[in-house]
């Protein structure tokens, strides 16, 4: 197994999946070189999906050269160098391992897998592939929000002092209506979990990304408010949770509260993060994703303490050099383009991109601890420090 990408041709990309995430990733690959001309050229080689007619229509709309229905044939193609997996969770382990074994670089949408065992197998596959120059990355796109990158930098620089507490809420409402139909995301055998894998994975990853700390223990509660929904064959049991609440203790001594829901009426994509330290705080709201609220006390004096709403749109801010003039805001879709650019830079320089599969495993262990705690009646579940990969700044 070797990663062979001839420098004389563009890097061939295959995206597996053409709906929500497939569309977002397709948009990124189509535009990445337009805004980041320093990264290696790419070719949108093939878009893959189960339904031939639907994937063909999506491929034409998203700018792909070809479409296909058999991912196994696609990962063996010599003109495909990178496989971007945007499939339901139960397919992550099989597909990503096969792609790595075929010598293809892999971008795998979060969460890494449906359970810890699958995640561990993926880490082993990634480590083996890495020895042959094959790179892999997990798609936690919120790491590429410029305001959150700035928050991470400020925390790392000690701007807010020692982190004491973190509050993270990720709330949506698309399942509030009891008549909303059954979907694969509500079946444990396909999704692995409900809102925990879907939204809490982002929250746990941001906790590590922003603080550089790792989770030591978890106490959680979950609830399925709508236990049955209408599927293709009639009423079907919902086998995952609609909402979850957790308290997380970190190895560094901070305490984090986490709340995630897909039944929070009126919240469309409300991702709020607050990090409180001994000298100040930073806070972020995805619905105002170009802003970061910074509170600090210069010189430690409460007489000069204040809060500033920073518009993260300056050329000196993370990733902003590629985009619009000062003050012109970015959107959610830009995070995927930034992500693609970072990955391509790593491939060009032969460095390992972040978040790694090890980072994804770290998140997976915390998610598993949340589920175990909730199943056992909210008791505290330890997450071993030696099993966690502490997140560090991306240096691509």
Of 141, 167, 190, at which residue does a domain stop?
Answer: 141
Evaluate whether residue 394 is within a structural domain.
no
Evaluate whether residue 55 is within a structural domain.
yes
Q: Report the CATH number at residue 318.
A: 3.30.360.10
Evaluate whether residue 53 is within a structural domain.
yes
Domain count, the chain: 2
Alpha-carbon span 127 to 164, nearest angstrom: 34
Evaluate whether residue 1 is within a structural domain.
no
pLDDT one-digit tens code per residue, 37-56? 999 999 999 999 999 999 99
pLDDT at 360: 98
Positive or negative, the CA dihedral 376, 382, 386, 388 is: positive
Query: CA nearest 393: which of 212, 203, 126?
Result: 212
Identify whether residues 204 and 109 lie together within a single domain.
Answer: no
pLDDT at 384: 59
Identify whether residues 96 and 204 lie together within a single domain.
Answer: no
Percent of the chain with pLDDT over 70: 94
Identify whether residues 125 and 206 lie together within a single domain.
Answer: no
Identify whether residues 202 and 249 lie together within a single domain.
Answer: yes
pTM given for the model: 0.94
Two tokens, residue 140 = 């936690």
Alpha-carbon span 285 to 21, nearest angstrom: 21
Of 110, 141, 172, at which residue does a domain stop?
Answer: 141
pLDDT one-digit tens code per residue, 89-111? 999 999 999 999 999 999 999 99
DSSP E strand boundaries for the chain: 11-16, 42-48, 66-68, 82-85, 105-109, 136-139, 163-171, 215-223, 228-231, 234-237, 243-250, 255-261, 270-277, 280-285, 291-296, 306-311, 381-382
Expressed as residue numbers, the domain containing 300 is 144-387
Identify whether residues 131 and 214 lie together within a single domain.
Answer: no
CA dihedral 223, 229, 231, 236 (to 10 degrees): 70
Percent of the chain with pLDDT over 90: 91
Query: CA nearest 61: which of 81, 44, 80?
Result: 44
Query: CA nearest 307: which of 295, 317, 316?
Result: 295
pLDDT one-digit tens code per residue, 243-255? 999 999 999 999 9
Two tokens, residue 151 = 């928050």
**Region of 300 on the Ramachandran plot (φ > 0 left; ψ -120 to 50 alpha; else beta):** left
Alpha-carbon span 198 to 190, nearest angstrom: 12
Identify whether residues 170 and 127 lie together within a single domain.
Answer: no
For residue 41, give the DSSP letter. P
Mean pLDDT by 10 residues, the chain (396 residues): 64 97 98 97 98 98 98 98 97 98 98 96 98 98 98 97 98 97 95 96 98 97 97 96 98 98 97 97 97 87 85 95 95 98 97 98 97 90 57 32
Positive or negative, the CA dihedral 179, 181, 187, 191 is: negative
Identify whether residues 212 and 233 lie together within a single domain.
Answer: yes
pLDDT at 7: 61
Evaluate whether residue 6 is within a structural domain.
no
CA dihedral 372, 376, 381, 386 (to 10 degrees): -40
pLDDT at 377: 86
């Amino acid at each position: 197994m070797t990663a062979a990408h001839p420098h004389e041709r563009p890097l061939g990309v295959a995206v597996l999946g053409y709906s929500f995430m497939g569309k977002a990733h397709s948009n990124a690959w189509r535009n990445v070189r337009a805004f980041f001309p320093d990264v290696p050229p790419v070719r949108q080689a093939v878009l893959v999906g189960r339904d031939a007619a639907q994937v063909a229509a999506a491929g034409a709309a998203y700018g792909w050269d070809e479409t296909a229905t058999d991912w196994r044939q696609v990962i063996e193609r010599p003109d495909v160098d990178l496989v971007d997996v945007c499939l339901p969770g139960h397919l992550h382990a099989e597909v990503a391992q096969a792609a790595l074994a075929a010598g293809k670089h892999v971008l795998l949408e979060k969460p890494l897998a449906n359970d810890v065992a699958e995640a561990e197998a993926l880490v082993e596959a990634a480590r083996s592939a890495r020895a042959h120059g094959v790179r892999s990355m997990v798609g936690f796109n919120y790491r590429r929000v410029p305001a959150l990158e700035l928050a991470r930098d400020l925390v790392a620089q000690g701007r807010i002092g020692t982190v004491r507490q973190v509050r993270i809420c990720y709330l949506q409402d698309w399942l509030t209506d009891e008549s909303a139909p059954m979907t694969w995301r509500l079946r444990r055998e396909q999704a692995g979990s409900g809102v925990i894998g879907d939204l809490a994975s982002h929250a746990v990853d941001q906790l590590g990304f922003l603080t550089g700390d790792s989770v030591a223990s978890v106490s959680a509660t979950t609830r399925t408010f709508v236990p049955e929904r209408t599927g293709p064959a009639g009423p079907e049991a919902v086998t995952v949770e609609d909402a979850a609440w957790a308290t997380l203790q970190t190895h560094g001594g901070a305490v984090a509260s986490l709340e995630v829901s897909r039944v929070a009426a009126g919240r469309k994509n409300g991702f709020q993060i607050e990090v409180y330290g001994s000298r100040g705080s930073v806070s972020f709201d995805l619905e105002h994703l170009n802003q970061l609220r910074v509170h600090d006390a210069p010189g430690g004096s409460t007489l000069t303490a204040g809060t500033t709403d920073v518009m993260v749109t300056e050329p000196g801010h993370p990733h902003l050099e590629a985009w619009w003039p000062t003050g012109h805001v970015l959107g959610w879709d830009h995070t995927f383009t930034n992500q693609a650019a970072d990955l391509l830079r790593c491939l060009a320089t032969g460095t390992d991109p972040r978040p790694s599969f090890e980072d994804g495993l770290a998140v997976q262990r915390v998610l598993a601890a949340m589920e175990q705690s909730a199943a056992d009646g909210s008791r505290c579940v330890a997450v071993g420090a030696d099993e966690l990969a502490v997140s560090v700044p991306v240096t691509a």
